[in-house]
């Protein structure tokens, strides 16, 4: 059969509707990857490995020996007073970096540590205020001031030595930040933004006022108001604390009216400050990192999917495997939310994707975030470098991905103390042998269950590849890498290279308009033949009903996939630079398997070539072969 189409991938809808009714038809496909790109990328293996392989125990508490890390001396002070002379460099030499602005950071956890790593690349001076002498950032910062970021006097004295003040944790003394701003101290994000973010109810009210889509919510202060909320929203009912709620802490679920009192008691009672959210049944949790410059310029990172374990972000898949319209909608919601806030920096916008394809905002963090760890290896500008650029006033960097796919795995404490460290070490040793894997260890002195101790990022040429690498690392064939409630795709769009994407993405857009769930993969017949075989052999079992294969980066992909699957395969010849797509076309039509073809040439151009050819009969034979 011969079908002409001015834009080949847009003609897919006709075939799709036909094929979903004709499962016995045999068509064709193209190579595999799990989202975009896929140009033979070979990822280097990089490692940040800053911990001793043996642990030192002291007394009853197990701790890490800071001396084994060759730490530089840190300046210590009591929270009530700070000796500013201790903030000067001991070698008396000045550092002339990309910017001479001293960046003060409230908090010295793992986010502060990675901010310092990014700063060192540009010789930007970062000073940390954290109460723990052995906090993760202490080994890498320009100077560490030991003191509480909740103590007003300490924060005010600390700010005097900083050109700009920012945060790596939002639970700080916001009243002091407001006072500092009145005194002319440069704070980013602004204190008003931190105040909004600190109170989850105030945050919801703020975004609601600015037209951001949210789950319905209402404040409660006694049983009667909670009961009314249950009558209004139905059950299950999500009850939340207004403040100090993160990683699942401060949340409780009441499945019926009888459970309201026990849920409220678990959160500390009505006096703590509570509100209720209508239950939001979602199919995926998404996140968008948004950077905002001091000039109000905006740069958004690709939408990612976050997968949680016990309410803690455990796995991040970049980019998220969602339709184009969902990505655009999620990015628009994230942008709108950040534009409603004041100040520069990086913001993490957490979102829900509902079963009816709505995007609802969950919450916003005014700082770098778990969902952006992967950007260190996968993007041209990491979220940490971007945050520094933003708060200092440097131009924002390129936030696009430089790798086709990335997956981040949070290393959470499995056991307490020494046993927990040993288990983490075993995982890290395996990760060092994984192609494309980068290890980050936060150098925390104590191990606790579910504590974030480090992370591993794996980059590669397809999502399928990095998922397989992660499964290999964890030794779990059935590792949950999808949300259990996610819609199963019925159409697979595959291609051999990201160079085919400009043609094939139109197929995705058409499927979006019909509400058909699909997946996009790069499965190269040349570079990753084993992935191509696996994709074709397992597609039907995974619920795929039709495969649409672009034949550009790999001309033989459609026929090869059709030979390995009982599913119908549509072959889409993509015009190449050398043979103008003829090789793809001939490969498809000469396949021994019955297949359908969408011709990727414009009708007018085809007829012009036919009429003006110097060899009329040869052209005629060529056209007959196509038919």
Please tell me the predicted confidence (pLDDT) of residue 57.
Answer: 33
Q: Which of 189-193, 305-309, 459-463, 484-488 has the lowest mean pLDDT?
A: 484-488
pLDDT band of 281, cuts 50, 70, 90? confident
Nearest to 524 by CA among 471, 569, 561, 481: 561
Q: Which has the higher per-residue pLDDT, 376 or 53?
A: 376
Q: Which has the higher per-residue pLDDT, 524 or 17?
A: 524
- Tell me the pLDDT tens digit for each residue of 207-227: 999 999 999 999 988 999 898
Please tell me the predicted confidence (pLDDT) of residue 570.
Answer: 86
Q: How far is residue 525's CA from residue 533's CA, in Å, rounded to a whole number? A: 9
- Tell me the pLDDT tens digit for each residue of 63-117: 443 333 333 434 434 333 344 444 444 444 455 677 889 999 999 999 999 999 9
Q: How far is residue 30's CA from residue 8's CA, in Å, rounded to a whole number? A: 15
**Phi first, then psi: what are they for 61, rounded to 5°?**
-100, 135
Question: DSSP label at 253?
Answer: E
CB-based contact 462:45 (threshold 8 Å): no
Percent of the chain at pLDDT > 90 equals 45
295 SS3 class: coil
Kindly list the structural domains of the chain, giving each domain's residue range(s) and its CATH number in brackets, ordered by start. 3-39+487-626 (3.40.50.1970), 72-187 (3.40.50.20), 216-278 (3.30.1490.20), 282-474 (3.30.470.20)
Q: Which has the higher per-residue pLDDT, 603 or 353?
A: 353
Please tell me the predicted confidence (pLDDT) of residue 605.
Answer: 45
- Mean predicted confidence (pLDDT) in 442-457: 93
Q: Which helix (H) or strand (E) holds 305?
A: strand 304-309
Please tell me the predicted confidence (pLDDT) of residue 11.
Answer: 52
pLDDT of residue 434 exceeding 50, the answer is: yes
Please tell me the predicted confidence (pLDDT) of residue 627.
Answer: 55
CB-based contact 593:562 (threshold 8 Å): yes
Burial of 534 (0-12, 13-18, 19+ CB in 10 A): middle
319 prior amide bond cis, ω within 30: yes
CA separation, residue 478 to residues 401, 470, 474, 542 (Å): 28, 11, 10, 13
Q: How far is residue 525's CA from residue 503's CA, in Å, rounded to a whole number? A: 19
346 SS3 class: strand
pLDDT band of 390, cuts 50, 70, 90? very high
- Tell me the pLDDT tens digit for each residue of 145-184: 999 998 999 999 999 989 999 999 998 999 999 999 999 9
Cα 281–chain centre separation: 21
């Amino acid at each position: 059969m011969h079908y002409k189409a001015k834009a080949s991938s847009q003609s897919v809808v006709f075939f799709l509707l036909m094929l979903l009714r004709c499962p016995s038809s045999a068509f064709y496909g193209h190579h595999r990857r799990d989202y975009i790109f896929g140009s033979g990328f070979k990822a280097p293996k990089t490692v940040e490995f800053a911990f001793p392989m043996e642990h030192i125990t002291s007394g009853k508490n197990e701790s890490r020996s800071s001396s084994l890390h060759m730490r530089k001396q840190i300046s210590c002070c009591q929270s009530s007073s700070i000796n500013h002379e201790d903030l000067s460099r001991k070698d008396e030499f000045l550092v002339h970096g990309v910017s001479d602005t001293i960046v003060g950071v409230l908090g010295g956890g793992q986010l502060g540590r990675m901010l310092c790593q990014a700063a060192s690349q540009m010789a930007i001076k970062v000073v940390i205020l954290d109460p723990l002498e052995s906090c993760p950032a202490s080994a890498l910062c320009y100077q560490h001031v030991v003191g509480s970021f909740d103590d007003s006097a300490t924060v005010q004295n600390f700010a005097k030595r900083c050109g700009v003040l920012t945060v790596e944790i939002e639970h700080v003394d916001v009243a002091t930040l407001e006072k500092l701003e009145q005194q002319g101290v440069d704070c980013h994000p602004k204190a008003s933004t931190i105040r909004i973010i600190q109170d989850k109810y105030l945050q919801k009210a703020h975004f609601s006022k600015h037209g951001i889509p949210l789950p319905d919510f209402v404040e409660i202060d006694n049983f009667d108001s909670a009961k009314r909320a249950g009558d209004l929203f139905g059950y299950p009912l999500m009850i939340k604390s207004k403040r100090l709620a993160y990683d699942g802490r401060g949340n409780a679920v009441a499945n019926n009216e009888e459970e309201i009192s026990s849920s409220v008691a678990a959160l500390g009672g009505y006096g703590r400050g509570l509100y209720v959210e209508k239950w939001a049944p979602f199919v995926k949790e998404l996140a968008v990192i948004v950077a905002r410059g001091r000039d109000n310029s905006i740069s958004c990172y690709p939408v990612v999917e976050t997968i949680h374990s016990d309410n803690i972000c455990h796995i991040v898949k970049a980019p998220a495997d969602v339709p184009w319209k969902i990505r655009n909608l999620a990015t628009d919601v994230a942008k709108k939310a950040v534009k409603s806030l004041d100040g520069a920096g990086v913001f993490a916008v957490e979102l829900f994707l509902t079963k009816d394809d709505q995007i609802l905002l969950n919450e916003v963090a005014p700082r770098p975030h778990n969902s952006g760890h992967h950007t260190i290896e996968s993007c041209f500008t990491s979220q940490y470098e971007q945050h520094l650029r933003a708060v200092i006033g440097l131009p924002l960097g390129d936030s696009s991905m430089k790798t086709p796919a990335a997956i981040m795995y949070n290393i959470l404490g499995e056991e307490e103390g020494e046993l927990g460290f040993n288990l983490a070490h075993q995982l890290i040793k395996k990760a060092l042998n994984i192609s494309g894997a980068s290890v980050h260890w936060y150098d925390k002195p104590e191990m606790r269950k579910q504590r974030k101790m480090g992370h591993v990022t794996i980059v590669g040429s397809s999502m399928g590849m990095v998922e397989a690498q992660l499964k290999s690392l964890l030794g779990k064939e059935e590792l949950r890498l999808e949300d259990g409630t996610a819609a199963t795709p019925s159409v697979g769009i595959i291609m051999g290279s990201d160079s085919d994407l400009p043609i094939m993405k139109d197929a995705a857009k058409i499927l979006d308009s019909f509400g058909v769930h699909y997946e996009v993969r790069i499965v190269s017949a040349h570079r990753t033949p084993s992935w191509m075989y696996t994709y074709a052999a397992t597609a039907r079992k995974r619920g795929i009903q039709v495969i649409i294969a672009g034949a550009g980066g790999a001309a033989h992909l459609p026929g090869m996939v059709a030979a390995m699957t009982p599913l119908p395969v549509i072959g889409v010849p993509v015009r190449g630079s050398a043979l103008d797509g003829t090789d793809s076309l001939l490969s498809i039509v000469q396949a021994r398997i019955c297949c359908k073809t969408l011709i990727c040439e414009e009708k007018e151009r085809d007829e012009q070539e036919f009429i003006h050819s110097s060899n009329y009969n040869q052209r005629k034979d060529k056209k007959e072969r196509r038919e």
